[in-house]
């Protein structure tokens, strides 16, 4: 009993010490937790700074890539942030070509050698320039190699070409056949390709039908001399019918006159060429029996030939019958032949989506041969039209853009509507006015710079919006994942 009383007294005596010990342990644990939270904040702050540093390096990398292979920006160029220096009231300078280079003193850019300009002056210039434009100083324009053109009325010519082949003039082709049957007695035009003249003998033929027709005609003539006057009138009709039959068989009037003079039928009849040209087809041999209507020869006059060319349907509105063209042949390099469109076919070739046109060519020296392959050049005057140089147009695929120049340093990207293309110029339908100046070179550099400036501007605006939000909104520690510490 006495021992229990002593132990209870000892417990009561040491109780304050235990309380202090527990309180101390709790305090130490609280300090450790605060240390962990501080480390979390520092880690988060370090991560945010790391992300900002990566974004800044990406912007600098994109700027360096846009300007070409440049040296690294010196570290002394960014001793203090721009906003802090502006608050201090100091005038800052930077390079127009490299806006990321900032200096407190005037001088030259160590990257490109351009003179540094005050940032305040650039701000005033940016406020003064028209909205939606890009400002580029004359010095920078010289480095970019910017050239200019003007929107004005010009005498435009539409030029395009087509390909085709030379062929025979179908209106100068002749076929030789006879209207009676017989045997070929003699053959004078005896090979394909032989030149013949009009009235030149081609072959002689023996025909019993022809001899009978001659005798009928001669008999009517003899009867006319012995008949009484009343019968002569009726006999004249018989004579005219017999003579007409010979003429319809393509026997010439001179041959009929010789028949009347001789008074006896000819055993053979000579057939003559009706045209001057070349034999391009021959279906006759000596001694061959030929029938009425059979084609014996085909003769072509090559003093005029055709060129059959195919043009695309988009070029069809610019041509018409009578349009003059120029022909170029690989057989005669450097030479050009003139011709005119004589016919435009009334239908479209479905497979090629082209229209066939016929061009007449004068060929007195017979240098142009059928089946020659050549190029037809169409050079068509379109008159005075408002136009701009082809080099001024940037085709984005969805629209066409030009850079209009204001006051020799402000460049406005503007969408334009274009008409037909004529050589090195586009017809202007809308978007720009007569007399305005446009950029004809380095458009892509200007376009890239404008995009880069917009990207930098957007990035700075985003950062400025985030700064006050970060001050107002408390950091929610519960949403952050726990950070494990290794002791």
Residues 197 and 295 in one domain: yes
| pLDDT value of position 129 | 56
Q: Of 20-29, 31-40, 134-143, which one has max mean pLDDT?
A: 134-143
| pLDDT value of position 151 | 94
Indicate whether 175 pLDDT > 60: yes
Residues 178 and 268 in one domain: yes
| pLDDT value of position 271 | 93
Do the domain assignments include residue 435?
A: no
SS3 per residue for the chain: CHHHHHHHHHHHHHHHHHHHHHHHHHHHHHHHHHHHHHHHHHHHHHHHHHHHHHHHHHHHHHHHHHHCCCCCCCHHHHCCCHHHHHHCCCCCEECCCCCCCEECCCCECCCCCCECEEHHHHHHHHHHCCCCCEECCHHHHHHHCCCEEECEEEEEEEEEEEEEEEEECHHHEEEEECCCCEEEEEECCCCCCCEECCCCEEEEEECHHHHHHHHHHHHHHHHHHHCCHHHHHHHHHHHHHHHHHHHHCCCCHHHHHHHHHHCCCCCEEEEECCCCEEEEEECCCCCCEECCCCEEEEEECCCEEEEEEEEEHHHHHHCCCCCEEEEEECCCCCCEEEEEEEEEEEEEECCCCEEEEEEEEECCCCCCCCCCEEEEEEEEEEEEEEEEEHHHCEECCCCEEEEEEECCCEEEEEECEEEEEECCEEEEEECCCCCCEEECCCHHHHHHHHHHHHHHHHHHHHHHHHHHHHHHCCCCHHHCCCCCCCC
Indicate whether 68 pLDDT > 50: no
More confident residue, 160 or 118: 160
For 432-442, the pLDDT digits (tens) are 999 999 999 85
Do the domain assignments include residue 362?
A: yes
Q: Read off the pLDDT band of 238 (50, 70, 90).
A: confident
Range(s) of the domain holding residue 315? 160-169+302-379
Do the domain assignments include residue 486?
A: no
Q: Residue 356: which CATH number? A: 2.40.30.170
Among the candidates 66, 97, 118, a domain finishes at 66
More confident residue, 125 or 292: 292
Identify which of 369, 375, 360 has the alpha carbon closest to the alpha carbon of residue 304: 360
| pLDDT value of position 42 | 47
Among the candidates 41, 66, 91, a domain finishes at 66
Do the domain assignments include residue 434?
A: no
Indicate whether 455 pLDDT > 90: no
| pLDDT value of position 43 | 44
Contacting residues for 363 by C-beta, under 8 A, at least 6 apart: 302, 303, 304, 305
| pLDDT value of position 324 | 94
What is the C-alpha to C-alpha distance for residues 456 and 462, in angstroms, rounded to an integer?
A: 10
Q: Read off the pLDDT band of 119 (50, 70, 90).
A: confident
| pLDDT value of position 456 | 42
What is the C-alpha to C-alpha distance for residues 159 and 166, in angstroms, rounded to an integer?
A: 22
Indicate whether 299 pLDDT > 90: yes
Structure tokens at 150: 């003007």
Mean pLDDT of 256-278: 91
Mean pLDDT of 274-303: 95
Q: Read off the pLDDT band of 55 (50, 70, 90).
A: very low
Identify which of 317, 424, 312 has the alpha carbon closest to the alpha carbon of residue 376: 312
Do the domain assignments include residue 138?
A: no
Q: Do residues 204 and 271 touch, judged by C-beta distance below 8 A? A: yes
Residues 257 and 209 in one domain: yes
**Total domain count, the chain:** 4
Do the domain assignments include residue 88?
A: yes
Do the domain assignments include residue 337?
A: yes
Residues 58 and 92 in one domain: no
Indicate whether 9 pLDDT > 60: no
Residues 181 and 287 in one domain: yes
Residues 285 and 340 in one domain: no
Residues 197 and 267 in one domain: yes
| pLDDT value of position 172 | 95
| pLDDT value of position 277 | 96
Do the domain assignments include residue 198?
A: yes
Residues 294 and 208 in one domain: yes
| pLDDT value of position 464 | 53
Least confident of 126-140, 304-318, 464-478: 464-478
Residues 287 and 313 in one domain: no
Q: Read off the pLDDT band of 481 (50, 70, 90).
A: very low
Q: Full-prediction pTM beyond 0.85?
A: no
For 27-47, the pLDDT digits (tens) are 545 545 444 544 444 444 443
Residue 217's alpha-carbon distances to 238, 239, 256, 476, 479, in angstroms, are 8, 6, 10, 129, 127
Residues 293 and 335 in one domain: no
| pLDDT value of position 341 | 96
Least confident of 93-107, 361-375, 459-473: 459-473
More confident residue, 192 or 26: 192
Indicate whether 181 pLDDT > 70: yes
Q: Residue 208: which CATH number? A: 2.40.50.100
Contacting residues for 207 by C-beta, under 8 A, at least 6 apart: 180, 181, 182, 183, 269
Instruction: Express as a percent the part of the chain with pLDDT over 90.
Output: 40
Residues 164 and 311 in one domain: yes
Least confident of 46-60, 244-258, 340-354, 463-477: 46-60
| pLDDT value of position 407 | 83
Indicate whether 340 pLDDT > 60: yes
Instruction: Express as a percent the part of the chain with pLDDT over 70.
Output: 69
Mean pLDDT of 161-170: 95
Residues 343 and 260 in one domain: no
Indicate whether 48 pLDDT > 90: no
Q: Read off the pLDDT band of 6 (50, 70, 90).
A: very low
Q: Read off the pLDDT band of 113 (50, 70, 90).
A: confident
Among the candidates 17, 38, 66, a domain finishes at 66
* Burial of 337: CB neighbours in 10 Å, binned 0-12, 13-18, 19+: buried
């Amino acid at each position: 009993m006495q021992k229990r009383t002593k132990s209870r007294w000892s417990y009561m005596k040491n109780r304050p010490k235990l309380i202090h010990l527990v309180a101390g342990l709790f305090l130490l644990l609280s300090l450790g937790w605060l240390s962990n939270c501080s480390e979390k904040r520092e880690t988060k702050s370090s991560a945010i700074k790391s992300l900002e540093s990566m974004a800044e390096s990406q912007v600098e990398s994109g700027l360096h890539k846009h300007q070409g292979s440049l040296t690294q920006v010196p570290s002394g160029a960014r001793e203090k942030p721009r906003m802090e220096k502006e608050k201090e009231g100091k005038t800052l300078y930077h390079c127009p070509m490299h806006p990321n280079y900032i200096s407190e003193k005037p001088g030259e850019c160590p990257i490109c050698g351009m003179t540094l300009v005050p940032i305040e002056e650039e701000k005033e210039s940016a406020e003064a320039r028209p909205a939606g434009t890009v400002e580029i100083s004359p010095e920078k324009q010289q480095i970019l190699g910017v050239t200019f053109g003007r929107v004005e009325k010009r005498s435009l010519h539409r030029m395009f070409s087509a390909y085709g082949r030379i062929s025979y003039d179908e209106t100068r082709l002749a076929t030789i056949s006879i209207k009676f049957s017989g045997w070929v007695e003699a053959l004078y035009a005896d090979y394909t390709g032989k030149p013949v003249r009009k009235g030149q003998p081609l072959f002689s033929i023996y025909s019993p039908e022809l001899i009978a027709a001659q005798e009928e005609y001669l008999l009517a003539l003899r009867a006319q001399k012995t008949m009484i006057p009343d019968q002569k009138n009726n006999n004249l009709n018989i004579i005219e019918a017999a003579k007409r039959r010979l003429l319809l068989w393509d026997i010439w009037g001179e041959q009929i006159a010789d028949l009347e003079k001789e008074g006896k039928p000819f055993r053979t009849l000579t057939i003559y060429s009706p045209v001057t040209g070349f034999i391009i087809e021959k279906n006759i041999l000596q001694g061959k029996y030929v029938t009425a209507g059979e084609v014996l020869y085909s003769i072509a006059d090559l003093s005029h030939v055709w060129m059959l060319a195919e043009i695309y349907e988009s070029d069809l509105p610019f041509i018409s019958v009578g349009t003059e063209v120029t022909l170029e042949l690989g057989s005669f390099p450097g030479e050009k032949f003139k011709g005119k469109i004589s016919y435009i076919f009334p239908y479209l070739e479905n497979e090629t989506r082209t229209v066939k046109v016929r061009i007449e060519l004068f060929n007195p020296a017979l240098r142009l041969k059928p089946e020659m392959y050549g190029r037809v050049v169409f050079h068509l005057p379109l008159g005075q039209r408002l136009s701009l140089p082809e080099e001024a147009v940037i085709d984005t695929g969805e629209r066409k853009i030009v850079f209009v120049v204001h006051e020799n340093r402000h460049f406005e990207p503007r969408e334009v509507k274009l008409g037909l293309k004529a050589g090195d110029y586009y017809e202007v339908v809308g978007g720009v006015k007569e007399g305005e100046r446009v950029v004809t070179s380095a458009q892509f550099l200007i376009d890239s710079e404008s995009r880069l400036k917009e990207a930098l501007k957007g990035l700075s605006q985003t950062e400025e919006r985030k700064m006050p939000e970060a001050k107002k909104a408390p950091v929610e520690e519960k949403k952050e994942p726990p950070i494990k510490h290794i002791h």
